[in-house]
Amino acid sequence: MSRLHDARDTPMRLAWPLAREIFPVVLFAALALIPALAGLLGQQYVLSLFGRVMIFAIAAVSLDLLVGFGGLISFGHAAFIGVGAYAVGILSSHGLREALLSLPIAILASALFALLTGFVCLRTKGVYFIMITLAFGQMAYFTASSLAPYGGDDGLTIAARNTLAGFELLRNQWFFYYLVLGSLLGTYLFCRGLVDSRFGRVFRGAKENAVRMQTIGFDVYRFQLTGYVIAGGLAGLAGFLLANATEFVSPAYMSWQLSGELVIMVLLGGLGSLHGAIVGAAAYLFLEEWLSGFTENWKVIFGPMLVLVVLFAHGGLMGAWNAVVQKVAQLQPFANGAPARD
């Protein structure tokens, strides 16, 4: 019977690596081909749509780092996007449009905001952590709304996209698309390497049992704060790209509604799966685009659909994908006849 079990178990062991390794390659390859497809179809709107998807995917990946691997459910993550976006808008309003300057400032500003708020937030747990991140997010929202010199409630229009080394490269739709794609790929690879590192093992261990990690000598608070700051900086990168994509910044970028949408994207794709966050962001925004064509109250339709995914697709869309891969893998030994028996 041992060979029978081996034959059945081997595909199961291979199913997760298949989903983890092959799927992201196919996903990023497909994204790289979108501009060519848009050119053939003469639909340049496709570029802006997929660009928006990838920008929010960066934010979703950074949130998945916190929620899926750190167990830190933040309802104020959009604040980091807004801080990064406002850094671009404020610099641009003062005539500073160089991306080599505004990009690091946007990331550092968001990371600094994450550091300052994280000092307080991470001293709480559970629902208290959720509520205090929500409170800080709303604080950022109302602060942006009060910035009368920079548009206040009406937001701030950016005269033009940032320059790159003095050249207007970001105005080129293809160049900007691949800049966003490269940023998403870099974010994904960075977070994946971080999760698999020693830091990531401690960060994940704190999610499972923080007391045990402290007992064996790790400063859990320091590791969680570092992860929180990293996630904030990556969301700032998304804010920089979003400000350049829309040429507009608004307090709405910091709203709790957007933070909630990011959480939904992560849940929809599958917690603890970085490429699942990308899939979740794409699924959410594509459904929004499609359903809003039928009614402005599209969330009434989307809500029950999300409930069905949560109830029947454990692990989100990537969980459903992994289940399909495992089912197919289980059937492979029988394709050429029954496995050998002792």
What are the pLDDT digits (tens) for 112-155?
Answer: 999 999 999 999 988 999 999 999 999 999 999 998 888 888 88
Q: Judge whether 34 lies within some domain.
A: yes
What pLDDT score was predicted for residue 118?
93
What pLDDT score was predicted for residue 313?
67
Q: Is the pLDDT of residue 340 over 50?
A: no
Q: Judge whether 341 lies within some domain.
A: no
- pLDDT by residue (tens digit) across 143-177? 999 988 888 888 899 888 898 888 888 888 899 99
> Distance (Å, rounded) from C-alpha 202 to C-alpha 79?
26
> Distance (Å, rounded) from C-alpha 115 to C-alpha 167?
33
Helix axes 298-312, 256-269, angle to 10 degrees: 40
- pLDDT by residue (tens digit) across 293-305? 777 777 788 778 7
Q: Domain count for the chain, please give it.
A: 1
Q: Is the pLDDT of residue 24 over 90?
A: no
Q: Judge whether 272 lies within some domain.
A: yes
> Distance (Å, rounded) from C-alpha 192 to C-alpha 173?
28
pLDDT, average across residues 96-101: 91
Q: Judge whether 25 lies within some domain.
A: yes
What is Dmax (Cα atoms) for the chain? Answer: 80
**CATH number of domain containing 138:** 1.10.3470
Task: State pTM to two decimals.
Answer: 0.88
What residues are paired with 157 via a beta bridge?
248
Q: Judge whether 210 lies within some domain.
A: yes
pLDDT, average across residues 201-214: 88
Q: Judge whether 339 lies within some domain.
A: no
Q: Is the pLDDT of residue 7 over 60?
A: no
> Distance (Å, rounded) from C-alpha 242 to C-alpha 7?
49
Q: Judge whether 342 lies within some domain.
A: no
Q: Judge whether 340 lies within some domain.
A: no
What pLDDT score was predicted for residue 12?
45
- Percentage helix, strand, coil for the chain under 3-state DSSP, each rounded to 5: 80, 0, 20
DSSP 8-class letter at 164: B
Residue spans of alpha helices (H) in 270-315: 274-291, 298-312
